[in-house]
Amino acid sequence: MLFSGKKFRRVRCENLDEMLSATQANEDIVRVLKSKAPIVMFTIKDEKTIRMDLDIEGKHMTHSFNFGEEHEMERKDGEKVKITYTREGENILNQVIKMPDGKIAYFRREIKGNEIKMIIRMKGSDLTAAIYYEVIE
């Protein structure tokens, strides 16, 4: 996968505020999505495993996931979310996050060359938002 090991920084958003307001998204998701230019890197470890590194607001987080398996992660507030990553072909990553309050967020990352377009949907809404990232390394 050509994007594996490259760092990407958010450069712009479309319809994000509208979608988050309309869906009353969980405050943890809102904080991450609206933070100042997070840097993300996905590294494919093998056919089944991906590692995500996220630098956000001066903090570094690393998580490894097996494709197609639901994983539990603990948030800063101690609540647990369930996350599942799948991939389509070589350059599309899908992520589903199930919140403790029952809300579900869907993220589709389409990687093309040095850019990522992340499309976000929340269960129960027809609204979508897009966040664009560009490679920095």
The pLDDT, as a whole number, for residue 25 is: 61
pLDDT at 104 over 70: yes
pLDDT at 115 over 90: yes
Q: pLDDT confidence of 100, banded at 50, 70, 90? A: confident
- Is residue 50, in this structure, part of any structural domain at all? yes
pLDDT at 95 over 90: yes
- Is residue 45, in this structure, part of any structural domain at all? yes
Of residues 29 and 67, more confidently modeled? 67
Q: What global pTM score does this model have?
A: 0.84
Of residues 122 and 2, more confidently modeled? 122
How far is it, in rounded angstroms, from Cα 54 to Cα 40?
5
- Per the structure, the count of domains in the chain is 1
pLDDT at 116 over 80: yes
Structure tokens at 23: 């869906």
The pLDDT, as a whole number, for residue 132 is: 93
- Is residue 1, in this structure, part of any structural domain at all? no
The pLDDT, as a whole number, for residue 133 is: 93
CATH of the domain at 86: 2.40.128.20
Residues 6+ apart with CB under 8 A from 110: 91, 92, 116, 117, 118, 119
- Domain with 84, as residue range(s), is 7-135
Q: What is the mean pLDDT of residues 7-18?
A: 87
- Is residue 2, in this structure, part of any structural domain at all? no
CA-based nearest residue to 94, from 57, 74, 65: 65
- Is residue 14, in this structure, part of any structural domain at all? yes
Q: What is the mean pLDDT of residues 30-44?
A: 76
- Is residue 55, in this structure, part of any structural domain at all? yes
